[in-house]
Chain A
Amino acid sequence: MLESLTLGEALAGIERGDFSADEVTAALDARIDSLDPHLNAYVHRAPAGAGAAAGIAPAGGPLCGLPFTLKDNMNLRGTPTGCASRILASYESPYDCTAAARLLAAGGRYLGKTNMDEFGMGSSNEYSAHGPVRNPWDLARAPGGSSGGAAAAVAADLALFALGSDTGGSIRQPAALCGVVGAKPTYGRVSRYGLVAFASSLDQIGPLAKDVADAARVLELIMGPDPRDATSLDAPVPRLLAAARKSARGLRVGLPEGLAVLGLDDAVAAAWEAAAAALAAQGAERVAVSLPRLRHATAAYYLLATAEASSNLARYDGVRYGLRAAGAADLDALYRRSRAEGFGPEVRRRIMLGTFALSRGYYEEYYLRAQKLRTLLARDFDQAWERCDCLLLPTTPGPAFRLGERLDDPLAMYLGDVFTLPVNLAGLPAVSVPTAVHAGLPLGMQVVGRPLDEVTVFRAAAALERAFPFRETRRRAVAAALDAGDAP
């Protein structure tokens, strides 16, 4: 069962000589062949037999030739980078994104690109030109988004680990809804060079993995300053794997008050309490903290993210690359029709919202006010850090929802990100860890830390993982769902 190994186990097995990286890749390839038709997690796959034999995967390096996946918004030379959008359906990358280049340099091997919400805009992976991804715990449910393909692939052992991107929760939310670990580092820790921008001031790349240690391994490989990204931080890479082995004893864990008003399932509330209790049982201290501006975060986020997106997506105009509408009579028609045909409904909605927020006469009222709220929210977090070392809060207000359930209610979809997007607004590091199962569906808790303090975040996340071993639960649930879904 090489496909079900964690990255840590695979590395150990290769070192012992039990099996090779190519055998692991072959096992994953076979499983993708048989199961991905049910999940729709992949939108591109490396050609079969590529790898060490084809000379593109160095055998050595910390990843020993083991495979990784990229989200469809990450450039890798010679692969399609479509952002799950019709407008980039024919687009092939002429260059590598820094994070992917670092994995390749570390001896990683490209396995494929995973499905997503178009340009990262969505929380269900339903807004994809490739169709929705299904949740491997229940094929009738959404995997979350926008890194839905990555989360589903890792949860169903269709990937060893995956890179995702997180603008308002796009790594952590699908990780929580699929029962895997998802990590979003401090804004600026991982270069965004080559990551197709959704909202530049919020986007971060991070890993989705089978356990906290794997996430730590991957993050260590991709973090660090990049001269090609002016927003990348010039800070030394912390030792996260070592942090994940440390005890939570003495950690002051902040529990934000008043989350119930923001909408919280009873089951999620119970899981949160259980997680807090588990950390306390390992010697952590519970501290009540207040984040009064949390309730304004959603509004601020959707103004700022859409404003930036409206500008970031202006380049898809049918002139230089990507989809160009046929038969346009003039330039204006070419723009209008290419963009109308190329973008899906959610992307169009957000471009219009963001354009509005930046327009003359509304800029102060919307964009600037949202920026002020962002500053105030960051101050709330700063005050919390005076009392605690990290925060514990649910990743999502509820478990995975049914496909189609929120498609006609964008507001409900947006409100589902209420616990993740404040973290992006403040640029903080966070890890989501699966800790509970409710009605057959996983629930995740996230640990949020001070800027650049991934070490504490991973320490607490690992403690949660020790308290709630999840691997066997996930394996059984996914196997059952895929059987029920008429899978082999």
Chain B
Amino acid sequence: MSARGANEGAAPRGANGGPAGWEAVIGLEIHAQLRTRSKAFCGCEVRFGGEANTRCCPVCLGLPGALPVLNRRAVELALRVGLALGCRVVERSVMARKNYFYPDLPKGYQITQYEAPLCEGGEVPFLLDGEERRLRLTRIHLEEDAGKSLHAGGETRVDLNRAGVPLIEIVTEPELASPAAAHAFLVALRRLLVWLAVCDGNMEEGSLRCDANVSLRLAGETGLGVKTELKNLNSFRGVEQALAFEIDRQERRLAAGEPVAPETRLWDAARREARPMRGKETVQDYRYFPEPDLPPLAVDAAWREAVRAGLPELPDARRRRLQAEHGLTVDEAELLTADRDLADYYEAAAAGGDGALAAHWVAGEILRLRKETGGFPVPPAVLGGLLARVGEGAVSHTAAKAVLERLAAEGGEPDAWIARLGLARLDDAAVLAGIVDGVLAAHPAELARYRGGRTKLFRFFVGRVMQETGGRADPRLVDRLLRERLDG
């Protein structure tokens, strides 16, 4: 693709939001490690870390004569994803060999799928700025992971604990238009994979990895420009930053009339730049062919439908249901469906009560406690009970927060803590009137200024009353009593 400067300005915005007429076309490839107990083609345990080369056998070491046998659980997990995303499941998909030499690839080939992948098509729903979007998928296929090369002190050592760990590769259509959209898509995809218990979604441990490709074209064109591939994107933020960098780079070149080279670039997160990968100038020929050690992978309707029947309600559907059933906003419902445990917690806490109130509390206090403790220290029914008291006006919000702290730290029942802490709402007008009168008597200067027109001091008196009552005073009653005395 060459720059066509004459058309510049035909569109209102550039690829990164600038003034030029370029638009970005982004596609993603996501590798997700499947949460199986054993590897894709042998019985070795799948676990992160540990002593190198201790979870290996003749099969995953690629010893002469060893043969792979496909892990059915891995197929099932891949099917869960495919069915959840509306893919076509291929009845007889084919395992293939991808041939290349590398020290951490023990057989000299990777077992993957090429011409007939397990799943085709499908789409991932996601939210971008609160708006519902969808990205179409090209395919989802099964493959095995390679080992790890550890470079240190001029030496390279190989750890094959990861060799043969099952992965799915999810390939999207090149239909994302911005780095922000790529980020939003990845967040939604990760949520879904974790939601389905298919992948732990841990990017630090490499359970989820993403490569991106991007090209530019003039706005309004339908053909595709020359794309570059971006690798070494170690976080979703990295994907977004690398794409922005690369779009900017391509745009400058094209604007200057220089071509974009079709190449692979490595993202350097520290330097915030993507540099061409050395030694990848020549196009690799992987010499794919059907894996003769494995028969075609047959997924009949019975197996497929059994997997489908085991799917949970999906996050997207659940978000919409929460919006509808509890009157939540898109943002609230999206936050509460960030993961299944949270959504389950919310629904249990909100059951039979005020959904909006529960949403407020779960999104605030409960998420904070989860961050601090790593879990849900207050059972959802207990929270529901506390919120019922709040709803009845039996305790104030401030008091309820104090009760929640005790519930989280020591357990127990809301009513018992309310009583023990003396936090029940003070709504006895006679008692409260005495306190109000006391406050006014104690602040004659302020009272004089109020009467002189400084009506903003009303909040001051409210605050004093609240302080005197430890936050327990019924705010509406305080309001009325104060007004009677100040304005009456």
Contact = CB atoms under 8 A, between A and B. Distances in A.
A311 B112 CA distance: 14
Interface string B127-171: 000000000000000000000000000000010000000000000
Contact of A367 (B62, B158, B289): B289
A390 to B, nearest CB: 26
Given A314-B99, A320-B106, A307 B67 contact: no
Interface stretch (A170-178, A255-263, A290-298, A354-362): A354-362
Given A194-B65, A317-B101, A363 B293 contact: no
Contacts of A74: 65
A315 interface: yes
Given A363-B289, A367-B289, A311 B99 contact: yes
Contacts of B292: 199-201, 231, 308
B158 A75 contact: no
Contacts of A197: 64-65, 293
Contact of A194 (B66, B68, B107, B295): B66
Interface residues of B, number: 28
Nearest to A81: B64
B64 A228 contact: no
Interface in A359-384: 359-360, 363, 367
Nearest to B108: A314
B69 interface: yes
Nearest to B41: A230
A199 B289 CA distance: 13
Given A227-B69, A358-B289, A314 B109 contact: yes
A50 interface: no
B61 A359 contact: no
B67 A359 contact: no
B50 to A, nearest CB: 19
B113 to A, nearest CB: 15
A311 B108 contact: yes
A91 B295 CA distance: 30
A315 B67 contact: no
Q: Is the interface of B mostly helix, strand, loop or mixed?
A: loop
Contacts of B107: 314-315
A196 interface: yes
B103 A81 contact: no
B287 interface: yes
B261 interface: no
A200 B67 CA distance: 10
Given A91-B64, A320-B61, A331-B103, A311 B97 contact: yes
A314 B289 CA distance: 14
Contacts of A358: 99, 287-289
A82 B103 CA distance: 21
A302 interface: no
Contacts of B287: 310-311, 355, 358-360, 363
A360 B455 CA distance: 84
A97 B158 CA distance: 26
B63 interface: yes
Interface in B76-102: 97, 99, 101
B324 interface: no
B357 interface: no
B65 A307 contact: no
Given A314-B109, A315-B108, A359-B285, A83 B69 contact: no
A93 B64 CA distance: 9
Given A230-B295, A307-B289, A314-B101, A193 B64 contact: no
B12 interface: no
Contacts of B61: 320
Interface string B349-383: 00000000000000000000000000000000000
Interface string A412-441: 000000000000000000000000000000
A315 B62 contact: yes
Contacts of B69: 227-230
Q: Which of B65, B158, B288, B294 is most buried by chain A, counting CB atoms within 10 A of its CB?
A: B65
Contacts of A317: 101, 103, 108
Interface in B461-483: none
Contacts of A363: 287, 289
Interface in A291-339: 307-308, 310-311, 313-317, 319-321, 331, 335
A190 interface: no
Given A228-B69, A319-B103, A360-B285, A75 B109 contact: no
Nearest to B59: A228
Contacts of B58: 94-95
A375 to B, nearest CB: 13
B295 A75 contact: no
A429 B19 CA distance: 72
A231 B65 contact: no
Nearest to B291: A200
A192 interface: yes
A73 B65 CA distance: 8
Interface string A187-231: 000001111110111000000000000000000000000011111
Contacts of A93: 65
Contacts of B109: 311, 314
30 contacts: A75-B64, A91-B64, A94-B63, A95-B58, A193-B66, A193-B67, A195-B65, A197-B64, A197-B65, A199-B292, A230-B68, A311-B97, A311-B287, A314-B99, A314-B107, A314-B108, A314-B109, A315-B62, A315-B64, A315-B106, A315-B108, A316-B64, A317-B101, A319-B158, A320-B61, A320-B106, A321-B63, A331-B103, A355-B287, A363-B289
Given A197-B293, A227-B69, A313-B108, 11 more contacts: A81-B65, A88-B64, A95-B63, A230-B293, A231-B292, A311-B108, A311-B109, A311-B287, A311-B289, A316-B64, A317-B103
Interface of B: 58, 61-70, 97, 99, 101, 103, 106-109, 158, 285, 287-289, 292-295
**Complex A-B, nearest 6 residue pairs according to Cβ-Cβ distance, in ascending order:** A314-B108, A358-B287, A200-B292, A201-B292, A196-B64, A194-B65
